[in-house]
C-alpha cells in the first residue's frame, strides 16, 4: 500500500533509465539532464550542485 502523501521523483525525460521503460517521445540529453556536484578539491566541501528532477 502506498501512503497517502507520497512523492515520486524521476530524472528529467527518464534520463538514465532502461530503454525498455522509456517512452519514445523522450529524448534525454546528458548536458541538459544529468545531476552534478562540484567539490572543493582540498577540503572535499561541495561548492555547487545541480540536481535535475521532475
- Asked, for residue 4, whether it belongs to a domain, the answer is no
pLDDT, position 40: 87
Q: Cβ contacts of residue 12 below 8 Å, gap of 6+?
A: 28, 32, 33, 52, 53, 54
**CA–CA dist 35, 20 (Å, integer):** 22
pLDDT, position 7: 66
pLDDT band at 46 (very low <50, low <70, confident <90, very high): confident
Provide the residue range defining the domain that includes 22: 12-50
- Asked, for residue 41, whether it belongs to a domain, the answer is yes
- Stated pTM of the model: 0.44
- Asked, for residue 28, whether it belongs to a domain, the answer is yes
How many other CB atoms are there within 10 angstroms of residue 15's CB atom?
A: 19
pLDDT digits (tens, 9 = 90+) for 5-36: 776 666 665 666 665 555 556 666 766 667 77
pLDDT, position 13: 59
Amino acid at each position: 500500500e502506498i501512503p497517502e502523501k507520497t512523492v515520486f521523483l524521476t530524472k528529467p525525460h527518464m534520463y538514465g533509465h532502461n530503454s525498455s521503460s522509456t517512452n519514445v517521445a523522450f529524448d534525454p540529453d546528458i548536458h541538459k539532464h544529468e545531476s552534478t556536484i562540484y567539490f572543493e578539491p582540498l577540503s572535499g566541501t561541495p561548492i555547487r550542485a545541480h540536481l535535475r528532477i521532475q
